[in-house]
Amino acid sequence: MKPERVILEITRRCNLNCGFCFLRHCGKLNCGKELSLAGIKRLARGVGGKTHFYITGGEPFIRKDCVEIIRYIKSLGHVCGVNTNGVLLNERVIKSLARSGVDYVIFSLHGPAKIHDRLCSLKGACARLKKNVRLFAAQKSGAEIVVSCTVTPANASVLDKVYLAARKLGADRMIFEHYQFLRDGEAARHQAGWRKAFGPDCGLITARVKGEGKLLDAAKLYRKLKSIKKLAGGKTSFEVRPALTADGLDKWYNRQIAPAGGCESLKKTLVFGPDGKRRMCQVYDERPRALKKLFGGCARCCQRFKITRYF
C-alpha cells in the first residue's frame, strides 16, 4: 500500500545541541551511518506512486547535498518539504533551495534571541535564523514558509512574542508543538506495549523526564496560547499541536499519561533512518518484522490528538 507520508531522516548530525532534542536525550545525536546521495535516490525511486516526503534530521543542511535530494524527489513528482534550524543556510544555498521546487520549509524558532540561543546552545543562532528566513522569503519561490516552536518551560511565557516574530518574518504558518517526552513510570508501560506489538527488539527514541515534579504552570500556558488567538492579522496562521484544554495541558506537562487509542499513523507513514533502514515511526528504533497489533498511541504524541488551526 502506498504511504500517505514518508519521513526521510537524511542525517542525525546537527550543528546545534538543543536541550529538548529527543536524539540528544537518547544518545543518538551525531551518530550513525548515512546513505550516499545515490542511495537516497534509490530509496526515493522505491516508494511507489506519488506521496509526501518530509525531510528531516538532525539538521538536513549539514549535508551539502540536501538541496539535490529535494530536487530529485520533486523530479519524481512527489510533494516535498524540509525542516531546518536555519543556521547553516547562506544566500547561495537559499537561492538553490528556492529553485528546487520545494513545497514548504519549516524553520525552528523557539523564543526571542536570548531564550532561543540558550535553548539551542549557540549564541547568535536566532539572528542567523531570522536573516535566512528573510532571504528565503525574498526569493518569492511560492514555497510555504512555516515557523515551528517547541513549547518548553523556558519559552512558555513568551509564545506571543514568537508568533509576532514569525508574522514579522513573513511566515505563512506558525506552529506550536508541545514538548514530547516520557516520565520514568510511563516508559515502563510503553515498553511493554511496544514489545507486545512489535517484538522484543523494538526500542524507544524520545526524551525522558525523571521524577514527578511540575514542569510548568499549565493555567498560565493556556492563557498565553489563548491570547495569541487575539493576534489574528496578516497572512500568518496559528496552530497548536495538539490543542488542549487547561486541564489537558496540566496532564501533559505535570502528570502521568497512559498510552491510549490506536495509532493510525502507523498504517499511513513510513520512516527511513539515515542509513536507509525502514521504521514504522520516528520514536521506534527498529522496524518490526510484522505488526502484531495496532499499538495504542504514545502518551504525548500529537498524532493522538486533534490538530487545530485557529486562524
Higher pLDDT, 213 or 77: 77
Q: Is the pLDDT assigned to residue 291 strictly greater than 80?
A: no
Work out the number of other CB atoms within 10 angstroms of the CB of residue 5.
14
Lowest mean pLDDT among 178-182, 227-231, 238-242, 293-297: 293-297
Cβ–Cβ under 8 Å, residues 151 and 176: yes
Of 311, 159, 177, which is closest to residue 234 (Cα–Cα)? 311
Q: Calculate mean pLDDT across residues 39-68.
A: 95
pLDDT recorded at residue 242:
87
* Helix, strand, coil fractions of the chain, as percent rounded to 5: 35, 20, 45
**How far lies 182's CA from each of 120, 185, 222, in Å?**
21, 8, 21
Mean pLDDT of the residues in the chain:
88
Work out the number of other CB atoms within 10 angstroms of the CB of residue 124.
11
Count of alpha carbons within 13 angstroms of residue 302, beta-carbon side:
17
Distance CA 277, CA 260 (A): 28
Lowest mean pLDDT among 159-163, 216-220, 292-296: 292-296
Q: Is the pLDDT assigned to residue 309 strictly greater than 70?
A: no
Q: In 253-295, at which residue ranges do the beta strands (DSSP E only) sit?
A: 269-272, 278-279
Give the domain range for residue 17: 5-309
Q: Calculate mean pLDDT across residues 94-122.
A: 98
Alpha helices (H) in the chain, listed in sequence order: 22-25, 37-45, 66-75, 91-99, 113-120, 125-138, 159-169, 184-198, 218-228, 246-254, 265-268
Of 235, 98, 222, 85, which is closest to residue 163 (Cα–Cα)? 235
Angle (CA) 245-246-250 rounded to 5° is: 115
- Give the strand pairing for 207-209 and 181-183: parallel
The cell for 289 is: 518484522
Distance CA 44, CA 109 (A): 29
pLDDT recorded at residue 243:
87
Q: Calculate mean pLDDT across residues 164-175.
A: 96
pLDDT recorded at residue 170:
94
> Which residues are CB-neighbours of 138 under 8 A, at least 6 positions away?
none
pLDDT recorded at residue 96:
98
Q: Is the pLDDT assigned to residue 158 strictly greater than 80?
A: yes
- Helices 91-99 and 125-138, axial angle in degrees (round to 10): 40
Q: Find cell 523526564 and name the residue.
A: 209
Distance CA 288, CA 149 (A): 32
Higher pLDDT, 25 or 311: 25
% of the chain beyond a pLDDT of 90:
62
Distance CA 250, CA 222 (A): 9
Higher pLDDT, 284 or 28: 28
Q: DSSP string of 78-132?
A: -EEEEEE-SSS--HHHHHHHHHTT-SEEEEE--SSHHHHHHHHT-TTHHHHHHHH
152: domain CATH number is: 3.20.20.70
Q: How many domains does the chain have?
A: 1
**Mind listing the pLDDT tens digit for each residue in 70-84?**
999 999 999 999 999
Distance CA 175, CA 166 (A): 10
